[in-house]
Structure 1
Amino acid sequence: MKKILITGGAGFVGSHLCERLAQDNECEVYSLDNYFTGNESNHVSNVKYIKGSTKDISSLVDFSPDIVFHLGEYSRVEQSFDDIEKVLEFNKIGTYAVLEFVRKHKCKLLYAGSSTKFGDSGENANASPYAWSKSTNTTLVKNYAEWFGIDYAITYFYNVYGPREIQSGKYATLIALFKEKMRNNEELTVVSPGTQVRNFTHVDDTIDALLLIGKYGHGDEYGIGSPECYTILEVAKMFGGKIKMLSERKGNRMLAEVIDDKTRGLGWKPKRRLEDFINECKIDNWEI
């Protein structure tokens, strides 16, 4: 049996990855999650769940995985200015511990980087504590490969959406937040100027890519992004609700280039469209 460890396995993307891998009878799937944004309601069958922080991975995980999918980091841009202690703990101390674990156990690492690194022609890499932590971690992963010979692949997510997104509170993601507001007949809040461009990628397409990269990918620049891009205002108009503009916020990039040639080279291509998903949500009264 191939042993697979997923950090952040009770979170949005991590739970979908757990679910897909757990369907493979040749895989033994484990999740390590501190439940900061993860939730037990995201648990799926045939996965062994370990509760704890990645900084304690060496004491919590007593086996040698074949691969570690490291998804369990702090992942919000604007909120990271207020949560810098969590950013440092989860994204720097925690990821260092994961790298040491991988080095000790000689297993492959798939690191989930952030497309904020490519925002505004690379000028966004240090624009927020979150962006800085993620962009410097990609450098650290590559250095570990050079220094210690670890096998790795680095992926980049582009505004993942779909079932199990966080729908409310300060850590809610855009599509889920708009769904929640439509369900509650509230105004859709858009941060000014509203012309920020995003490439929205369905979680199922993201998981398809992660599985391919985990199996065949080596090195950096495995972007996982839909080519369809929209401004935040365009997305709000797709939902059809009343729109309320909010003041500008620090760290908010305007553009991001999709770097996905290596991912497509593995045979991946996105199959789902944001507009179709929103229309399905409308039909189901915003419950998806």
Structure 2
Amino acid sequence: MQSKKILVTGGAGFLGSHLCERLLEHGNEVLCVDNLFTGTKANIAHLLSHPRFEFMRHDVTFPLYVEIDEIYNLACPASPVHYQFDPVQTTKTSVMGAINMLGLAKRTKAKILQASTSEVYGDPEIHPQIESYRGSVNPIGIRACYDEGKRCAETLFFDYQRQHNLNIKVMRIFNTYGPRMHPNDGRVVSNFIIQALKGEDISIYGEGKQTRSFCYVDDLINGMIKLMNSPDGFYGPVNIGNPKEFTILELAQLVIELTQSKSKITFHPLPEDDPKQRQPDITLAKQELQWQPTIELKEGLSKTIEYFKDFV
């Protein structure tokens, strides 16, 4: 198989670092671009000496002039704690980042994949979420910088495809977890694990009846690469996530069991626009990509807990 020059934006982040690693294993040259707002050099430290790996500190809201064959556009803070810290910059990263990467793809004739999100569905009125569902998003709420930024990025991808005949791929990522998650990103899996390992109370927002579907990072990266390598003309969007649904309370209880923690569960008010249900319909991914997740929540959580032990 011929080696490709592949650009990964957000490559020092949680998902990006796993993707860079996998692309190198497949024999490619990888250019990892990150402004290190939420990504860290620690995530890619083991790759820096690799002869086919290059790291560039760069913000995707500014144009990038490089020669590449494929682009994975992952750059954007993805947890509420980080994307609400500077909401204007979050929107700019999604929108200007998409414009700059699409412009680069147009010039170099590269195939380009957009890491979109299940948040484009907002607080969904249908369950599970299917790709044709257009969503229920509050455009002026505190989560809109991320939700609407990603929705606009999808718009740009499909307009570039129609207007410039670009070879695009759009994936909608559902809750993903695993080693190299940011320990302070406020996401439910990392929050619960850190609290349990420290023996602190586990904080549940609302009654814990809201549901999430948790996909282990290795499964997610498999789906991402399968989408990039899918036949030309299949653009997506396609849901990539684990359709097994768990309540937040069930997740907390499982984390306590696996960490053998003495933590108690406490309940707090629900944040604004927090989705009540989140579950992907992955029929399309099964049909078009022959992809479905294989790693059960218990197995994935055990690996993630091992990683987080170093932070406590």
Q: Given that residues 183 and 285 in structure 1 are in contact (C-alpha distance below 8 angstroms), is that contact kept between their aligned partners in structure 2?
A: no
1:52 to 58, 65, 74: 58
Q: Given that residues 162 and 202 in structure 1 are in contact (C-alpha distance below 8 angstroms), is that contact kept between their aligned partners in structure 2?
A: yes
Residue identity in the other structure for 2:298: E
Q: Provide the alpha-carbon RMSD of the alignment.
A: 2.0
* 1:274 match: 297
Structure 1 stretches of 4+ moved >6 Å: none
* 1:76 match: 79
Unaligned runs of 5+ in 2: 126-134, 257-262
Instruction: Say whether residues 1:173 and 2:187 are aligned partners.
Output: yes
TM-score for both structures, normalised by structure 2: 0.84
Inter-CA distance 220–186: structure 2 relative to 1 (3 Å threshold): same
Q: CA–CA distance in 1 between the matches of 2:112 and 2:5?
A: 13
Q: CA–CA distance in 1 between the matches of 2:178 and 2:301?
A: 10
Query: 1:204-283 counterparts in 2 under 5 A?
Result: 204-216=218-230, 218-240=234-256, 241-265=263-287, 266-279=289-302
Moved more, 198-207 or 184-193: 184-193
Q: CA deviation at 1:89?
A: 2.4
Q: Given that residues 116 and 256 in structure 1 are in contact (C-alpha distance below 8 angstroms), is that contact kept between their aligned partners in structure 2?
A: no
Q: Given that residues 6 and 68 in structure 1 are in contact (C-alpha distance below 8 angstroms), is that contact kept between their aligned partners in structure 2?
A: yes
Query: 1:11-26 counterparts in 2 under 5 A?
Result: 11-25=13-27
Residue identity in the other structure for 1:214: M
Q: CA deviation at 1:276?
A: 2.6
Q: Percent identity?
A: 25
Q: CA–CA distance in 1 between the matches of 2:180 and 2:307?
A: 16
* 1:194 match: 208
Q: CA deviation at 1:82?
A: 4.6
Residue identity in the other structure for 2:169: A
Moved more, 182-191 or 118-127: 118-127
Instruction: Say whether residues 1:182 and 2:231 are aligned partners.
Output: no
Q: CA–CA distance in 2 between the matches of 1:154 and 1:190?
A: 32
TM-score for both structures, normalised by structure 1: 0.90
2:90 to 78, 87, 90: 87
Q: Given that residues 6 and 69 in structure 1 are in contact (C-alpha distance below 8 angstroms), is that contact kept between their aligned partners in structure 2?
A: yes
Inter-CA distance 257–237: structure 2 relative to 1 (3 Å threshold): closer
Q: CA deviation at 1:246?
A: 1.8
1:136 to 144, 152, 158: 152
Inter-CA distance 219–11: structure 2 relative to 1 (3 Å threshold): same
Q: CA–CA distance in 2 between the matches of 1:104 and 1:184?
A: 50
Q: CA–CA distance in 1 between the matches of 2:38 and 2:156?
A: 25
Q: CA deviation at 1:78?
A: 6.2
Q: Secondary structure at the match of 1:287?
A: helix
Q: CA–CA distance in 2 between the matches of 1:285 and 1:99?
A: 35
Q: CA deviation at 1:193?
A: 3.5
Q: CA deviation at 1:80?
A: 3.9
Q: Secondary structure at the match of 1:109?
A: strand
Q: CA deviation at 1:163?
A: 0.6
Deviations 1:54-76 (A, max 9, x none): 12242xx422x111000111312
Instruction: Say whether residues 1:120 and 2:124 are aligned partners.
Output: yes
Unaligned runs of 5+ in 1: none
